[in-house]
Amino acid sequence: MGDRMMRAVLFDRFGGPEVLYVGRVPRPEPAPGEVLVRVRAFSVNGSEVAARSGRLRLFTGRKFPQRVGSDLAGEVAALGAGVADLAVGDRVWGIVGRTGFGSAAEYVTVRAGRLGRVPDGLDPVAAAALPVATTAITALRDKAGLRPGERLLVRGAAGGVGNAAVQLGQAYGAEVTALARAANLDFVRMLGAHHAIDHRAVPPGELGLFDVVFDTAGTDLRAFRRLLKPGGRMVSIAFDPARPAASLGYMAASAVHGRGRVRFFSGNPTRALFDDLARQVADGGLRPAVDKAFPLEETAAAHRALEAGGVRGKYVVRVD
């Protein structure tokens, strides 16, 4: 394949966005069951921001340099032994893995089962905004069992997963209430929210009762759990970064104490889930929401923008 080196986004110490830089590392080779993907775009997610800052050092370790990037859109560049259901040149999207990073690079190896084919009509930047939507599918359809006519509350409705939850909730026939910043209320209405509320202006106790609460923030879980109707379900994909042990402990305790368990999970999609995602896109129930696209050299600026708050959909980075 010619040059065996590639560009990748790295950091040599924990810290703010300024620790990120584009360096050169060896291009990986696909192991059996893996696919080498030529990355065309990836999005910036809260988990990698937390990892870069050092808040996940128990999981990522302290060995440097470390990498960022968890999802991707691109093309199959090479196949590892035993991969027969994809071909070189296929346009794919995927996620590196539950705890892995590294898609912020020109190439990355991914287990074949963590990739799906990109639907026709989506360019790489649009496609890179959607893999995290598999988390919303799992949360609403599989974990919460959201049914038509039920009342759904989405926290962080303008964000990467939240915007997908609003769209999917509407597609599943729910009555969707979206919590977002005041500046993003028109945006979440455009996505399909029936009610859009400024989360800073209305306290949880004044929101009413819901069949399903979908949380992307991880804070104030006790207050939002009180909003569940009898038989209601709450699903969270985040824990409080300031109090991770207490936050996760409360979720565990909720399974045996009081009304309504708080279900917590992190996305770990498979090929079948990416096929479901593609069908949602093809059926018009889900469309990509890209706030801004950055070049690879400005990955730090994309991290800085996400940390500043107020994102509408996803910040995506192009790998040209």
Residues 155 and 245 in one domain: yes
Does the pTM surpass 0.75? The reply is yes
The per-residue DSSP string of 17-82 comes to GGG-EEEEEEPP-PPTTEEEEEEEEEE--HHHHHHHHTTTHHHH-S-SSEE---EEEEEEEEE-TT
Residues 48 and 195 in one domain: no
Q: What is the CATH number of the domain that holds 38?
A: 3.90.180.10
Instruction: Give SS3 for 206.
Output: helix
State how many domains the chain has. Answer: 2
Residues 194 and 301 in one domain: no
Strand partners of residue 282: none
Identify the domain containing residue 23 by its residue range.
5-131+269-318
Instruction: Give the containing element (helix H, strand E) for 246.
Output: helix 244-254
pLDDT over 60 (residue 243): no
Tens of pLDDT, residue by residue over 203-240, are: 999 999 999 999 999 888 999 999 999 999 999 998 55
Residues 76 and 144 in one domain: no
Number of H helices, E strands in the chain: 10, 16
Residues 28 and 121 in one domain: yes
Residues 137 and 90 in one domain: no
Residues 164 and 209 in one domain: yes
Residues 160 and 245 in one domain: yes
Tens of pLDDT, residue by residue over 42-72, are: 999 998 999 999 988 888 888 999 999 999 9
Residues 232 and 306 in one domain: no
Q: What is the CATH number of the domain that holds 210?
A: 3.40.50.720
Residues 256 and 230 in one domain: yes
